[in-house]
Amino acid sequence: MDLLIFLLLLTLFLVTTRFILNRRVTKNLPPGPTGFPIIGNLHQLGPKPHCALSSLAQTYGPIMSLRLGSVTVAVASSPAAAQEILQKNDQAFANRPIPESVAAQPNLGDTLAWAPADQRWRNRRRVCATQIFTAQRLDLLQHLRHRKVQELVHHLRKQASNGKAVAIGDLAFATMLNLVSNTVFSEDLVDPEFESAGEFKEVVWRIMEDAGRVNFSDYFPLLKPFDLQGVKRHVAVSYVRLHNIFDGLIRKRVAEREGPRVVKGDFLDVLLDQCEQGEASDFTVESIKPLILDLFIAGSDTSGSTTEWAMAELLRNPEVMQKAREEVIQVIGSSSVEITETDIPRLPYIQAIVKETLRLHPPVPLLLPYVAGHDVEVSGYTIHKGNQVLINAWSIGRNPQFWDEPLLFQPQRFLRSNIDFKGRDFEYLPFGGGRRICPGLPLAIRMITLMLAALLHSFQWELPQGVTPHTLDMTEQYGITLKKLSPLSAIPISL
């Protein structure tokens, strides 16, 4: 007990000292709300920080600063401010602060998403961009993804014959996990019949949940060693389990490659080819595990929840659903013909639906955080070395200054304009921008568009009894990804 009191007093002392020191480094900071001592503006974030920050930006402007515990955070909420951060000063904001839930994983420095933007990180990004996410590489593995989507359609046909409603988000998440796992390992990691959840899905899910929890250690760095809420200890178990699963798959492949050569050509083969280059390469069998983990964590939930939001918007907007179905039927033909990724370029309206969904429901609403490497001027204010920076992509995508009737779901707006998500149009940043833009973008867009087109091509969709397009609940739940609070349930009717 004495020890506990001592620790609490020590913590209070350290936090107060830090608070006083912090006050000295506030010269020319962007404007922002006055906070309480010690907690600063933490109480103002609420359960939906992206919404709270959007409202605060209306008072304090497109670049504002807040104090979250002992951490100073600048928030950009306009295309111009985002451009200054992502383009003009991208070098200064190339690194990320590391949340404690992320720091719990083994070999953190070998991740792509959280490693400092040094030469090793650049080499890894280059290999991903040139060897993994190129159109040619993705084309090579498209048959694996087609099979997964056909399995989903098959499963839904069975449900349709019983007239049962299905949880679209769960199915989309499991399918996306298998799409990623087939692209990386040429194997399913989730039961293709979706009956048992499968340990892999559970572990990935637990990492998402833990990473989405508010952790005081992130706002009071001096508390880090104590891990008072136990988040780091809890999530570490899931990380180790995933590493063990990957270990088994990598060992199996290494052994296969020693025998008569059967080239699978998947991401794992690309990474093992890199490992074989020895000293010339930044990759080893150990160091590819965090990278593979990144691809699963960053790729599955984001893409799954985008598919769920898209279907929710279509069920809420029957005329858009009708137009989309007409397009797939006209381009692909009857529902007995299998849809493939090569059909996507001929589906401009479905592509516009995906874009519109990502505008209204960006799965990573505040992008991933950045940290200032040195003092930087942004819009006439100073962001000091060590300050964190967030870009509120959600708020920018819904701002009437930059979008006509921003709260309406109108995919045709993207048919009339050249705005794209590749990080050059700063009013539309679902994948971020600058040097840390999402490298998985080409794969994500293929997976989401293919899955959505298949759902519309093979089925008509109805809401369960008692739910109408007007009463469908679209409330958001903030976490590591922005999800639907009440999971979407809909009835597939086979065509």
Closest CB 438 distance from ligand HEM, rounded Å: 3
The span from the CA of 369 to the CA of 99, in Å, is 10
Closest Cα to residue 355, out of 448, 266, 481, 226?
Answer: 448
Closest CB 433 distance from ligand HEM, rounded Å: 6
Residues that bind ligand HEM (CB under 6 A): 112-113, 125, 180, 294-295, 298-299, 302-303, 306, 363-364, 367-368, 430-434, 436-440, 443-444
Residue 177: C-alpha distances to residues 148, 170, 191, 272, 315 (Å): 10, 11, 10, 21, 24
Nearer to ligand HEM, 69 or 433 (CB): 433
Q: Is 438 assigned to a binding site?
A: yes
Task: With H, G, I as helix, E, B as strand and everything else as coil, classify residue 378.
Answer: strand
Closest CB 266 distance from ligand HEM, rounded Å: 13
Task: With H, G, I as helix, E, B as strand and everything else as coil, classify residue 22.
Answer: helix
The torsion angles phi and psi of 139, rounded to 5 degrees, stand at -60, -40
Closest Cα to residue 318, out of 416, 463, 489, 459?
Answer: 463
Nearer to ligand HEM, 97 or 440 (CB): 440
Closest CB 257 distance from ligand HEM, rounded Å: 23
Nearer to ligand HEM, 153 or 177 (CB): 177
Nearer to ligand HEM, 160 or 390 (CB): 390
Distinct helix (H) and strand (E) counts, the chain: 18, 11
Closest CB 33 distance from ligand HEM, rounded Å: 25
Closest Cα to residue 481, out of 387, 374, 362?
Answer: 362
Q: Are 420 and 431 in contact (CB under 8 A)?
A: no
Nearer to ligand HEM, 15 or 447 (CB): 447
The span from the CA of 327 to the CA of 329, in Å, is 6
Nearer to ligand HEM, 325 or 446 (CB): 446
* Residue 227 burial (10 A CB sphere; 0-12, 13-18, 19+): middle
Nearer to ligand HEM, 67 or 124 (CB): 124
Closest Cα to residue 82, out of 359, 441, 366?
Answer: 366
Tokens of 279: 């000293």
- φ/ψ region of 98 (left if φ > 0, alpha if ψ in -120 to 50, else beta) reads beta
Q: Are 207 and 241 in contact (CB under 8 A)?
A: no
Closest CB 329 distance from ligand HEM, rounded Å: 26
Nearer to ligand HEM, 133 or 220 (CB): 133
Task: With H, G, I as helix, E, B as strand and everything else as coil, classify residue 167.
Answer: strand
Tokens of 439: 């490298």
Tokens of 60: 């304090």
Residue 176 pairs with which residues in a beta bridge?
A: none
- Annotated binding-site ranges: 438
- Annotated binding site for heme, which residues? 438
